[in-house]
Amino acid sequence: MCSKTQKIVVLIFAMFLFLSPYSVMASTSYKPVIVSNINETSGVISVVTTLSIIADWATQVGDTLFTPASVVTGSEDPHTYSLTSSEIQMIGEADLFVRLGLPGIEPWVENILDAFPSLNVLTLASEEMMEIDPVSGYLNAHVWMSPIIAKNFVSNITDSIIQLDIANREQYETNRDNYLSDLDELIFDIEDYYFNKTNGLKVVVQHPSFFYLLNLLGVERVGIIEEHEGSEPSAQHIQEIINIMIEQNVSTIITQPQIEEQLVIQIARDTNSKIAILTPMLLDDEDANYIQMIIDDINALLSPEDIEDNQWIVASLAIGGGFFVGSILLLVYLRFKGNIFKFKKEKIKPKTNRE
């Protein structure tokens, strides 16, 4: 339960956001903040996370004891997300707010931390965890795509939750251990089974989201279509990507549902390549979870889609939809025309003489 002062601060900040729509925008200067307030409680705790994947980890730990909420869902881009006033209020009233804390991933978080200096915050990652991406030349922040790194995040989440709800410590630790065992099984499958199927595969990626996962799979990325975050690549860069694909006989392009794929389709058509649709975020499905997402991503990589098949499906939907709309318009026209004809017929009907 938040205090009256906290509620006032939430309302003031929400009004500020409404008056200044660009107030919660990109900021890549991060200062890791962890505020530890030990509160023993037997009630339900409120946990809010920046990303749906973090919410899934918290769900595995909390099981039936609490249900975490996520600000950004899998269909949205966390790099460019804008908070609503209700989300600001939800964060301000949380017992625990969990973020990754890496540059560029959640740029809207810094303003939240400034607005609520007493907010209990758990920052999972640090820049020391990131590796230099040899293709882009920059530190890659998508560390959660490695199940090995994810294990550390799960343990840290568990520790912070136990501080809030010490009465259920034993249950939280049991849930954590069970989930870490599931992650170990996933890692084993990647290293012992999937690696043999993917090792040596060359791909081009639209966005550098899958760097850590592809490294575990032994997949080589020869190019990144996106030159800079949130901007269209130049014509020169696109041509360079096409040339690399042709020279190195690359036939797979990796894209993701959170990003427009028209450019990817065009490059795939020009290079006679297939498209593998992977996701770095949990999609809007109540049954979605991190482990299944990683497995689905690997299977999508192993079974890329032919671009012509994709276009045929899109064309069929377009033609079918056009035919349906056209049929409706034709029926409306005929009905309207029939009423007009009936009206005219009644209008010219001759009068009968009365005896």
What's the rounded Cα separation, in Å, for the pair 39 and 51? 24
Closest CA to 68 of 154, 127, 150, 8: 154
What's the rounded Cα separation, in Å, for the pair 242 and 271? 7
pLDDT for 339 equals: 53
Mean pLDDT score of the chain = 81
- For 33-69, the pLDDT digits (tens) are 333 343 444 479 999 999 999 999 999 999 989 999 9
Q: Please spell the DSSP secondary structure of 32-98, one letter per residue.
A: ----------SS---EEEEEHHHHHHHHHHHTTS---EEEE-TTS-TTS----HHHHHHHHT-SEEE
List 139's β-bridge partners, or say none. 132
Task: Tell me: pLDDT of 1 over 70.
Answer: no
Q: What angle do CA 301, 307, 313 make, to 5 degrees?
A: 110
Q: Please give the DSSP secondary-structure letter assigned to residue 281.
A: S
What's the rounded Cα separation, in Å, for the pair 167 and 65? 11
- For 145-165, the pLDDT digits (tens) are 999 999 999 999 999 999 999
Contact 179, 60 (CB under 8 A): yes
Q: How many CB atoms lie within 10 A of CB 25?
A: 15
Domain 188-309 has CATH 3.40.50.1980: yes
Closest CA to 307 of 246, 258, 265: 265
Q: Are the folds of 30-180 and 188-309 the same? A: yes
- Exposed (0-12), middle (13-18) or buried (19+): which is 255, by Cβ within 10 Å? buried
pLDDT for 314 equals: 43
pLDDT for 147 equals: 98
| Model confidence band, residue 260 (pLDDT cutoffs 50, 70, 90) | confident
Please state the domain extents for the chain: 30-180, 188-309, 315-355
- Exposed (0-12), middle (13-18) or buried (19+): which is 346, by Cβ within 10 Å? exposed
Task: Tell me: pLDDT of 25 over 90.
Answer: no
- The H or E element that residue 123 is part of is strand 121-123
What's the rounded Cα separation, in Å, for the pair 194 and 209? 19
Q: Say which residues have a Cβ less than 8 Å from residue 331's Cβ, sequence separation at least 6.
A: none
Kindly report the CATH class assigned to 30-180.
Answer: alpha beta
- 3-class secondary structure per residue, 214-269: HHHCCCEEEEECCCCCCCCCCHHHHHHHHHHHHHCCCCEEEECCCCCCHHHHHHHH
Q: What angle do CA 91, 119, 45 make, to 5 degrees?
A: 65
Length of the chain: 355
| Model confidence band, residue 138 (pLDDT cutoffs 50, 70, 90) | very high
What's the rounded Cα separation, in Å, for the pair 333 and 353? 37
Q: Say which residues have a Cβ less than 8 Å from residue 269's Cβ, sequence separation at least 6.
A: 307
List 70's β-bridge partners, or say none. 49
